[in-house]
Amino acid sequence: MIRNPVLPGFHPDPSILRVGDDYYLATSTFEWYPGVRVHHSRDLVNWRPLGGILGERRLLDLSGVPDSGGVWAPDLTYANGLFHLVYSVMDTYAHGYKDVANYLTTAPAIEGPWSDPVRLPGPGFDAALFHDEDGTTYLLYMVFDSRPGRGFAGIELQPLAGGGKPRLILENRSITEGPHVYRVGGWYYLMVAEGGTGYEHRVSVLRSRSLEGPYEDDPAGPMLTAAHDPGLELQKAGHGCLVRTQDGEWYLAHLAARPYTPRGRCVLGRESAIQRVEWVDGWPRVAGGVPAVEVPAPALPPHPWPAPGDDWSTLRRPASPDWVTFDDDRGVTITGGQSPYGRRAPSLVARRVTSTRFTLETSVTFEPGTVHQSAGITAYYNSRNWYHLALTTDGLVLTGSDRGARTVHHTVHLTAHLAAGSPARLGLAFDGPVLRFSYDGETLPVELDATILSDEYADEIIDGQIRSFGFTGAFAGLWVQDLAGEGCRATFRDTTYR
């Protein structure tokens, strides 16, 4: 059986692809490097991380992007011996504007090397490619109209090469986005995401005999949604992508979320799930039109992978020796960076939160020289919502930020300890909605609200105007701050995530 979500934690907007016997699943990364995470499977059950495709500034520059900006909705395809990756980079999404550019990069193998990105046309995002049977490749994207009172404006299609003009093939119905086209049995099937990426999210399918339309809806309604049933374990089901197995079976990859309470906060963010698809009366359909937790796997040999190693991401800048180095003893040394609200050069190395109950522990060696320096561990959502237990000149200080309002929750005076320069064992533990920190095995006497590290809490919409989105899910990691740029470093060892 396939057990959903197949990629727990922050793995939204899945684009699934089969090349021979290999399946690849690419997901959005927003302000985190490496951009566009890719997982690999040979049975759709067991997945291993391959890292990210956009791991260097040549391919992606996230400096200054807003929270939940950056890389939106990648599309991974294969044609003519090359992998094609299309991705959007969002620089602004607030106040009724979308400053976004779509790019294409290609590679002969999933490991690369990836070509220098080429900017694509289109006044919108969620760009994708369709490689037709005659060899023509088309570009699709949702159109965004920034004029006051406008917004989502439908789906456009145009040839990738040759200078053909764009054609609107579907008008906006209900936040229509995330387009993919498939050609099956003489029909063109247009799959779109609708209803927004929250609890009204859904996958809709339309078809036409002509690529340019007109397209008609599946009379059975949405292919997949959880909008009508808050009791389903998987919520927010939408943004789908189809794949066909070697034996002709069909599956749908889609995003989903697991709130802590019915229609409540999703600390784990939007995750990736897979559903089985049956063709009924010429339409691809999921049983009941709802996301299932357990799904029959395809008739493929089981292919488990060895346990993966550490799976770190970095915030707004790629991991490079000028600020982060890993050694053979599984230690990491981090040079301090900007404040929590800086968007150019923070020094945060973190991993996705993948379970409602887990612990992260590490031993940190650090001697702060001034009040501008700190190093420790963090439970992090975005620049406005986080907790940080850090060694400072004031001792061991636990600070939180709640929509930008900072609070010192607890302080442990450690003057003698810091002077000696010996490592301090720091830990954090998620226990459902409760978050606790620890020092040298002793839990600090503070219980914190883990649910502020959620997509819903990060959303800020004032008087109908978007100020901030919450698209990324929670992280746990290692954070070093050096606000005056004095060159402080901290070394972390024996870091464990359980």
Mean pLDDT of 123-139: 96
Q: Is there a catalytic annotation at residue 486? A: no
Count the domains in the chain. 2
Residue range 204-233, pLDDT digits in tens = 999 999 999 999 999 999 999 999 999 999
Domain final position from 263, 295, 327? 295
| pLDDT in the model for residue 162 | 80
Exactly one of 13, 156, 218, 271 is catalytic; which is it? 13
| pLDDT in the model for residue 479 | 98
The distance in angstroms from the start CA to the end CA of the chain is 24
305 within some domain:
no
Query: pTM for the whole thing?
Result: 0.96
193 within some domain:
yes
| pLDDT in the model for residue 415 | 59
Residue 390's domain is classified under what CATH number? 2.60.120.200
Left if phi > 0, otherwise alpha if psi is -120 to 50, otherwise beta: which for 252? beta
306 within some domain:
no
223 within some domain:
yes
| 291 and 344 fall within a common domain | no
| 261 and 340 fall within a common domain | no
Residue range 350-389, pLDDT digits in tens = 999 999 999 999 999 999 999 999 999 999 999 999 999 9
65 within some domain:
yes
Mean pLDDT of 131-142: 96
- Pure H helices in 124-180: none
Exactly one of 67, 177, 271, 482 is catalytic; which is it? 177
Residue range 422-444, pLDDT digits in tens = 899 999 999 999 999 999 999 99
Mean of the per-residue pLDDT values for the chain?
A: 95
**Residue found under tokens 């003009």:** 165
**Range(s) of the domain holding residue 336:** 313-497
Max Cα-Cα span within the chain: 76
| 382 and 242 fall within a common domain | no
| 151 and 271 fall within a common domain | yes
Domain final position from 238, 263, 295? 295
| 319 and 421 fall within a common domain | yes
| 290 and 317 fall within a common domain | no
Q: Is there a catalytic annotation at residue 13? A: yes
| 264 and 127 fall within a common domain | yes
Q: How many CA atoms lie within 13 A of 284 on its CB side?
A: 29
Residue 101's domain is classified under what CATH number? 2.115.10.20
Domain final position from 266, 295, 324? 295
Residue range 249-264, pLDDT digits in tens = 999 999 999 999 999 9
Q: Cis before residue 179, ω within 30 degrees of 0?
A: no
| 376 and 266 fall within a common domain | no
301 within some domain:
no
**DSSP reduced 3-state for 180:** strand
**Total length of the chain:** 498
221-250 core/surface letters (b: 16 or more CB in 10 A; e: else): ebbbbbbeeeebebbbbbbbbbbebeeebb
| 348 and 243 fall within a common domain | no
Q: What is the DSSP letter of 196?
A: -
| pLDDT in the model for residue 464 | 75
308 within some domain:
no
pLDDT surpasses 80 at 275? yes
| 263 and 363 fall within a common domain | no
| 186 and 90 fall within a common domain | yes
| 97 and 179 fall within a common domain | yes
| pLDDT in the model for residue 382 | 98
Are 103 and 117 a contacting pair, CB within 8 Å? yes
304 within some domain:
no
| pLDDT in the model for residue 149 | 87
| pLDDT in the model for residue 105 | 98
**Do strands 313-315 and 270-280 pair parallel, antiparallel, or not at all (unpaired)?**
unpaired
Strand-pair partners of 493: 363
